[in-house]
Amino acid sequence: MTSDFEKRLAEETLPPVIRHHFSQSLFPDHMPSNRLTEFQKESLREVVTRAYENLPFYRQKMTQAGVKPQVINSLSDLAKMPFTTKNELRQNPWALLACDKKDISVIHVSTGTTGGQPIYTIETWKEYYLNTCINYPRLQPIEQDDLCFVALPYEMSAAGLDFHTRFLVGYQAAVMAVGKGGAYSTPEKTIKLIRDLKPTVVVTSPSYAITLAEAADEASFDLTSLRLKKIWLAGEGCSPAFRKRVEIIWGTTVNFVYGATECGLIGIECDAHNGYHIAQGHVLVEIVDPKTEKVLEPGEIGEIVITCLLRFDTPLIRYRTQDLGCLDPQPCPCGVPLERLHLRGRLSDQIVLKGTAYSPVYLEDFLMQLPEVGNWYTFVVKTGENEHLKIRTELAAGVKPTPELAEKLAVKMGSAINIPCEFELVSKLPRLAQKAVRVVYE
Ligand SMILES: [Zn+2]
């Protein structure tokens, strides 16, 4: 947190719950857990009260559910509150606005990965500032002398701007808005800038990390010579085996950040690479059975449901992300006490073959362990009588495509994942500026 943040705390311009619990030397990943729980409880009560008092959207939902803000006496009482769904927010930009329109500072729109009408996310300056200034320096040790390249989309999506302001305002580092495939942002130009300016931290998506590596290769530039402190990845899921490839190519550790346009920062990976530490200063996470809507125990896989703790002007309560995951109650070897969350893909992304659902990330992990396979692939789900998984893939540099190799890969992959597989070896798959398309149906 910055001295500016301290000043604002002193000026009492921030909500009392924030002034009470945070200070320059006290971040959520340093806080004793009882103190953090106390903050979460107080903040939750305030968010729910503001939602009830100022938002017809939530008052109506709470009335229908027969609850009032007073039912919140502990964090587990959150389960008594109604859910908020994506469909309720689509085409309904002002639904969560619990303050005057003149106080709005930032508007984001969802990337539309799950289809349907857009979801607009609105933040006031206070919310935007808090989201940016409350940080996790043990998990994300960004220093003032770091130069961070943000190679994520800045237009329409919140992804680029979110990292940008967090690193710039929250950590007071230097930031370059490199972008990802925008009007001026080509992989070739990005590599030129990387070469000239030598960033210490790069933020991008898994597939774009590979696109940039290919551009570096074309320019005969060795990315490992940069000795980057870290690559932060966001925006797409990725398997441990794919991450390993990115780490080798770039010569640094690669950690993920999990977030969503509608609810902001949710989790940050530590170097143990064993799930996300939940950004417990920002959100409460529940895991809910998508069918029965009951809250599940740690270890049980269900839908990730988010309640935002820093959104007092645009409350978001029990938001159903349609992402799947489970909580991990085991302490992490890194020593950060924040709870951990494991992601298990998206509800809508699951590949269903012969009645069983598979996460593409789970399948990718096996695929990326095959050394002959290149970094670009598509899972083609073949439906109909001969239901099976066709894997359209490039090969690693120097590997020749032969029918024997296709057969060998099909046998290896098929026995690893227990689904009949077919390999189509192609010389080049399209590189997209948008999120990589990993699954198609034919
Ligand atoms: Zn950890």
Tens of pLDDT, residue by residue over 144-188, are 999 999 999 998 888 899 999 999 988 999 999 999 988 889 999
Last residue within a domain, chosen from 347, 376, 402: 347
CATH code of the domain containing 356: 3.30.300.30
Interval between CA 139 and ligand 1 midpoint (Å): 8
Rounded to the nearest 10°, the torsion over CA 137, 141, 143, 148 is -120
Shared-domain flag, residues 107 and 167: yes
pLDDT band for position 355 (50/70/90)?
Answer: confident
Enter the tokens of residue 390: 């066709």
Last residue within a domain, chosen from 347, 381, 403: 347
pLDDT digits (tens, 9 = 90+) for 216-252: 999 999 999 999 999 999 988 889 999 999 999 999 9
Interval between CA 384 and ligand 1 midpoint (Å): 44
Interval between CA 331 and ligand 1 midpoint (Å): 8
Which chain residues have CB less than 5 Å from ligand 1, an ion? 270, 272, 332, 334, 336
CATH code of the domain containing 140: 3.40.50.12780
Interval between CA 332 and ligand 1 midpoint (Å): 5
Shared-domain flag, residues 333 and 365: no
Interval between CA 187 and ligand 1 midpoint (Å): 32
pLDDT of residue 435: 75
Identify the bridge partners of residue 105 per DSSP, sorted by sequence position: none
Shared-domain flag, residues 189 and 262: yes
Shared-domain flag, residues 420 and 330: no
- φ and ψ at residue 428, rounded to 5 degrees: -155, 130
Domain housing 275 = 3-347
Ranking 7-11, 312-316, 326-330 by mean pLDDT, the lowest is 7-11
- φ and ψ at residue 434, rounded to 5 degrees: -80, -170
In the chain, the largest separation of any two C-alpha atoms, in whole Å, equals 72
Shared-domain flag, residues 204 and 234: yes
SS3 category, 1: coil
Interval between CA 286 and ligand 1 midpoint (Å): 19
Shared-domain flag, residues 76 and 88: yes
Shared-domain flag, residues 212 and 103: yes
pLDDT digits (tens, 9 = 90+) for 386-411: 889 999 999 999 999 999 999 999 99
Shared-domain flag, residues 101 and 219: yes
Interval between CA 434 and ligand 1 midpoint (Å): 30
Shared-domain flag, residues 42 and 187: yes
Enter the tokens of residue 9: 């705390």
Shared-domain flag, residues 137 and 236: yes
What is the spatial distance between Cα 254 and Cα 245, in angstroms, rounded to a whole number?
10
Interval between CA 166 and ligand 1 midpoint (Å): 21
Residue-averaged pLDDT of the chain: 92
pLDDT digits (tens, 9 = 90+) for 258-300: 999 999 999 999 999 999 999 999 999 999 999 999 999 999 9
Interval between CA 247 and ligand 1 midpoint (Å): 18
Specify the higher pLDDT residue, 360 or 22.
360
Shared-domain flag, residues 325 and 355: no
pLDDT of residue 137: 93
pLDDT of residue 1: 45
Last residue within a domain, chosen from 347, 380, 414: 347
Shared-domain flag, residues 240 and 373: no
Ranking 169-183, 193-207, 306-320 by mean pLDDT, the lowest is 169-183
**DSSP output for 348-395:** GG-EEETTEEE-HHHHHHHHTT-TTEEEEEEEEEE-STT-EEEEEEEE
User: Structural domain tally of the chain?
Assistant: 2
Interval between CA 46 and ligand 1 midpoint (Å): 30
pLDDT of residue 115: 67
pLDDT band for position 3 (50/70/90)?
Answer: low
